[in-house]
Amino acid sequence: MYPANFDYQRPSTVDEAIALLSKHGDDAKLLAGGHSLIPTMKLRLARPQVVVDIGRIANLSYIRETGGAIAIGAMTTHHEIEASPLLRERSPLLAETASHIGDVQVRNKGTIGGSLAHADPAADYPAAILALEAELDLVSPRGRRTVTADTFFVDLLQTTLAADEILVEVRVPLTARTVAYVKTEQKASGFALAGAAVVIGPAHTRVGITGVAAKAYRAVAVEHILGGQHPLTQEAIALASTHAADGVDPLGDIHASPEFRAHLAQVNTRRAIERALARA
C-alpha cells in the first residue's frame, strides 16, 4: 500500500527543522530512520501533510564522553551504538541493548532518537535508558530543556515531546560492567514480549521493563526489595523478581496473554540480574 500524498522537507539544521514543525503543527511528522513512520503511513494509520526528514542534519550523530556521562546524538544509528568502543567500555548496557534490535538492516538505518520518540511499548531502548536513569535534551522554539527518562514516556506511543520539539541528545552515566539486558522476543518482528534491563551499582539495583505494559517502566518493587544489599543472594534475587510486574496492567494480544507477559517479566528480570552479577 502507498501512503497518502504529502509534502517532503529536508532541513539541514535543527533550527530549520523546528521552524517547519512550528509552521505546520500537528500536520507535520519528523522522519528519522523511518522504521516506525513509513509503515504507519503505508497503512494510512498516519497521514501527515508534511514529512520533515532530519536524516541529513550532520551534527545530530555522535557518541562522546562529556561531564562524567556519554552523550549520544539523536540520529546515531543502532549499529553505531552497538559497535561503539566508548560505550562498550564505559557504559555497556546501551550497546548490548542495541544488539538486540531488529536485524542488521534495521540497525544500520534506525536511530536511537527515532526509537525513543516513537515510544513503542515493545521497543528495547526504553528499558535501558530507564535503568540507566538517562537524561534527554529536547529543543523547541522556546529553547532547550532536559527531561529524565522517568518522565519522558507518558503512555502508549506517547512521550513528553511537544508537537514543535525535537529530541536531540541522550546522556547516559558511566557504569561498571554489572549490567545486562535480557528479552523474550516475538520471532517475526524482534520486538520484546518482555525485556528487562538491569544496572547494579555499589548501593542500588535499577531495573527497566519493556514489552509488558503500555509504556516501559521502572520495576520499583524489585529495586526496593533489593535495595543496597551486597552481595545479592539467590534468595533475594528470586523473591524480588516475582514483583517485576507489580503495579502495571500487562498487555495481551495474539502473541502473549497478560499473565504470560507478567511471567516473562519476572523470569527475564531474574536472568538479567544474574547475568549482570556474573560480569562483575
What pLDDT score was predicted for residue 45? 83
Higher pLDDT, 185 or 1: 185
At CA 246, angle to CA 242 and CA 247, rounded to 5?
Answer: 180
What pLDDT score was predicted for residue 56? 87
Q: Which candidate, 105, 19, 83, places its Cα nearest to that of 57?
A: 19
Q: Judging by DSSP bridges, how do beta strands 179-185 and 192-201 pair with one another?
A: antiparallel
Query: Does the reported pTM lie above 0.75?
Result: yes
At CA 100, angle to CA 81 and CA 249, rounded to 5?
Answer: 115
CB atoms within 10 A of CB 99: 14
The C-alpha atoms of residue 163 and residue 166 are separated, in whole angstroms, by 8
Helix, coil or strand: residue 189: coil
What pLDDT score was predicted for residue 203? 84
What pLDDT score was predicted for residue 46? 86
Q: Residue 84 is placed in which grid cell?
A: 561503539
Q: Flag whether pLDDT at 151 surpasses 80.
A: yes
Query: Phi-psi bin for 57: left (phi > 0), alpha (psi -120 to 50), beta?
Result: beta
| 88-134 tens-digit pLDDT | 999 999 999 999 998 888 888 899 999 999 999 999 999 999 999 99
Q: Which helix (H) or strand (E) holds 139?
A: strand 135-140
Q: pLDDT-derived band of residue 165, with 50, 70 and 90 as boundaries?
A: very high
The C-alpha atoms of residue 124 and residue 210 are separated, in whole angstroms, by 7
- Is 127:88 a contact under the CB 8 Å cutoff? no
Q: Flag whether pLDDT at 228 surpasses 80.
A: no
Question: Does the CA dihedral 64-67-72-74 come out positive or negative?
Answer: negative
| 242-276 tens-digit pLDDT | 999 999 999 999 999 999 999 999 999 999 999 99
Helices 258-278 and 234-241 cross at an angle (nearest 10°) of 150
Q: Residue 49 is placed in which grid cell?
A: 501533510
Residue owning grid cell 502473549: 256
The C-alpha atoms of residue 181 and residue 161 are separated, in whole angstroms, by 26
Q: Residue 223 is placed in which grid cell?
A: 529495586
Q: pLDDT-derived band of residue 63, with 50, 70 and 90 as boundaries?
A: very high
Q: pLDDT-derived band of residue 58, with 50, 70 and 90 as boundaries?
A: confident
Residue-range domains of the chain with CATH: 7-53 (3.30.43.10), 58-173 (3.30.465.10), 179-275 (3.30.390.50)
